[in-house]
């Protein structure tokens, strides 16, 4: 599967670099946007929503982030209109494999996958 527009949300710039590199290499996405905070990412989504631009179809989301963490972000995201959300997939991409986090993430229907860092070619290729 190929994505039109991927949004990477992670406060760790190195990880953003790695993820972007892997996605670019695999050519899975036409366009990649990187936001190093969940707040900025939310602002960005609001902007494109208001501008009636095409919405993001895939989000790689970290959990541990200052100010607004991955779950706070998810709580805001699901407030977007349903028809928009329906077209969007969220992949959790985090260094945490704590069961509590995994469990909590699966509560959101918008979350389609939980990936423990680092993202590799193999994992990406397995995504459908």
Using CB under 8 A as the criterion, what x/- string covers residues 29-48 for binding another protein? --------------------
- Rounded Cα gap, residues 114 and 101, in angstroms: 10
Supply the minimum distance, in Å, between the C-beta of residue 96 and another protein: 5
Contact between residue 18 and residue 118 where contact means Cβ atoms under 8 Å apart? yes
Instruction: Give the up-direction half-sphere exposure of residue 113: CA atoms within 13 A in the CB hemisphere.
Output: 16
Could you say whether residue 122 binds another protein (CB under 8 A)? yes
Selected binder of another protein within 36, 117, 124, 127 (CB under 8 A):
117
Supply the minimum distance, in Å, between the C-beta of residue 48 and another protein: 28
Could you say whether residue 22 binds another protein (CB under 8 A)? yes
Question: Angle at which helices 70-77 and 99-106 pack, to 10 degrees?
Answer: 10
DSSP-derived letter for residue 73 is H
Cβ-Cβ contacts under 8 Å for 75 (sequence gap 6 or more): none
Selected binder of another protein within 84, 116, 124, 127 (CB under 8 A):
116
- The site for another protein, by CB under 8 A, has a size of 22
Q: What does the binding site for another protein look like in residue numbers (CB under 8 A)?
A: 12, 14-15, 18-19, 21-22, 25, 64, 95-99, 116-123
């Amino acid at each position: 599967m190929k994505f039109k527009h991927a949004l990477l949300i992670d406060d760790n710039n190195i990880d953003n670099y790695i993820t972007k590199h892997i996605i670019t290499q695999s050519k899975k996405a036409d366009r990649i946007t990187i936001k190093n905070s969940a707040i900025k990412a939310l602002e960005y989504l609001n902007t494109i929503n208001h501008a009636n631009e095409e919405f993001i179809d895939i989000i790689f989301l970290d959990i541990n982030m200052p100010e607004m963490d991955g779950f706070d972000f998810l709580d805001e995201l699901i407030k977007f209109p349903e028809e928009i959300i329906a077209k969007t997939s969220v992949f959790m991409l985090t260094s945490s494999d704590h069961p509590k986090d995994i469990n909590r993430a699966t509560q959101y229907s918008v979350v389609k996958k939980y990936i423990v860092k680092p993202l590799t070619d193999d994992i990406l290729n397995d995504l459908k």
